[in-house]
Amino acid sequence: MCGICCVVTLPSQHTVHHSFNADMHCCLRRRGPDSSQQLIKTASDLSYKCLFSGHVLHLRGVLTPQPLEDANNSIFLWNGEIFNGLPVGDTENDTEVIFHHLELCSNEADILSLFSLLRGPWSFIYYQASKHSLWFGRDYFGRRSLLWQFSDKIDGAFCLTSVSVYSESGNQYQEVPASGIFKIDLKAWATTKSLSLTFFPWTYSCSEKTAEEIFINVLDQVSKDLPNHIPLVMNESKLCLRAPVIPLNKTISEASDECASTNISDITPMASVETLQEFLAKGHRKKLVHQFIDVLNEAVKRRVLLLFRNEERETREVQSLSHGKAHVAVLFSGGVDSMVIAALADRHVPLEEPIDLLNVAFMMKEQAKQKGTTKKHTNQKIRLDLHSCPESCKETDAKTGGHLSCFDVPDRITGRAGLKELEALNPSRIWNFVEINVTLEELKEMRQQHINHLIYPLDTVLDDSIGCAIWFASRGEGSISKQGEMKPYKSPAKVVLTGIGADEQLAGYSRHRVCFKKYGLEGLNKELEMELGRISSRNLGRDDRIIGDHGKEARFPFLDEDVVSFLNSLPISEKADLTLPRGIGEKLILRLVAKELGLQASAVLPKRAVQFGSRIAKLESNSEKASDTCSRLKLLSVDEL
């Protein structure tokens, strides 16, 4: 994982360093703490100048500083992982592998064919010196951040970067759309003083007609955020990238309708593990569940094993308290998504390595605590192992000795219960349940110092809540239980697994139930297709910037191309049944996977979004809507910092 940046200027402008300042360098350096270097290229005959800045987090193969430059003066910046599609040896670095393949490309079609092969998260910047072309883009799902900034002047500077700093006086950044790959002809720009973007879209079928249709559909969406003087044009050859996943199966059969209503009257009004067992008794259903386990298991395997492991190498992290050092962590709430990921990771992470379970809680207000203590769960048939609740009142903070009951938020309670399930599955594994407690004062301080710049250019209340929760969780600073005592701990894991993508594909959100009630299965299919289509701009760029700020890499098993293709191949009735109660109907196939893996109570936990489970949504304001612009994300200009 890396921080990458490119600034292109013409002679009439300020120097490249006007756009690339110390604050941006610092933000990029946090993403890639293992190597940092810059390279400036000047095309004197064409009067343009390019600055390339690369900051590397070493995760695979030999440490390879960026930017890379070949004998033809072409330059490559890569922020990604090749998990499949292109051979990468165990000792090879994927940055060097893909750059070598780019050197062999003789035309645009070759470059597009290469990127169409890749499986895994990526963003890249490629300067093709012989043709004065600047290529850049993000993977199909947009799992890696890339922002662009255009000057408001026709001959102004152009900037690409993994993460930016905000300036009230400057031109604002936007996320590069994950709808395709872009190219800028620097020779034409320097000659005409007019910058234009050539676009190569993702498509399931690379026919000329399909490419034109996609371009028309995407044109308005992409162009609306571009300055008026920056045209977006389809490439002349109508070339496109082949999508790495198959289209969504929108089939709605009579069998689906029958399945959706079968034995509804016989199912208890509340979720239960027994209900899942009834589903698994059906041979067809159980076969699909095991197929899903196989493909998801491979996705997790790739993400926990393709990782540099060398205990002798000097590291900057705080060493763990256990007999081994954790290399892999899971953003962990105890819900079904994170529990399944943790259980599958346990199959492949070497047994001598702990697995860090990162569980974040924001201090509850006194009023919220009192309300929470009076709310009983007598109507729930699920009975979690909550004996940790009274124990938590006895636990004390390792530093202050104060009670931690104010951090007994819902995700902490379900997280502790989930820990016990995982310990029962594999008692030989050291599971570091990292309790990350955040006070209002620390939240405000870290938001202003770091988090607001990472969430930017997004700006809603929802972005603030989720962004802050993920930042503190992925930082991994908290405490773990060691021999009955809570000890300070900082996770040294460079890889952070997250369950994002499960809800979007398996109808996990409450809005999916609303949609289903209004528009039925057909409407639900359209909603899920839209969810996956917008996940790059809604979630993934932000989460990559947030997690990468700690010198860690986010990995998304549920967005593995094979996993998405498998789920896309199934009709909606095999993935979810929203006629069933919460805790069963949403993400039904994943709950069945959890049951087959040996999980119990966590398999039937209803979905609870991180902003509510961690209680950050209630910490500062109860009157805001998720879609409101968040006043707390108001950023200071660079000059004020």
Please identify every residue annotated as catalytic: 2
Listed in sequence order, the residues at least 6 apart from 214 whose beta carbon sits closer than 8 Å to its beta carbon are: 201, 202, 203, 240
Q: Is 220 annotated as a binding residue?
A: no
- Give the whole-angstrom CA distance, residue 62 versus residue 89: 11
Q: How far apart are CA 270 and CA 259, in angstroms?
A: 19
Structure tokens that stand for 312 in this block = 């002798």
Q: What is the dihedral of CA 175, 178, 180, 184, to 10 degrees?
A: 20
Do the beta carbons of residue 3 and residue 32 sit within 8 Å? yes
Phi-psi region of 61 (alpha: psi -120 to 50; beta: other; left: phi over 0): left
* Interatomic CA distance for residues 460 and 624, integer angstroms: 10
Residue labelled with tokens 């996990």: 508
Q: Tell me the torsion sign for CA atoms 603, 608, 610, 616.
A: negative
Q: Are 331 and 499 in contact (CB under 8 A)?
A: yes
What is 81-127 written as a DSSP string?
A: ---BSS---TT--HHHHHHHHHHT--SHHHHHHHHHH-BS-EEEEEE
- Token pair listed for 352: 């001598």
DSSP string over 509-526: SHHHHHHHHHHHHHHHHH
Phi-psi category of residue 144: left, alpha or beta, with phi > 0 → left and psi -120 to 50 → alpha: beta
- The DSSP-derived string for 257-313 is HHHHHTTGGGS-SS--HHHHHHHHTSHHHHHHHHHHHHHHHHHHHHHHHSS---TTS
Binding residues for L-glutamine: 94
**Residue list for the binding site:** 94
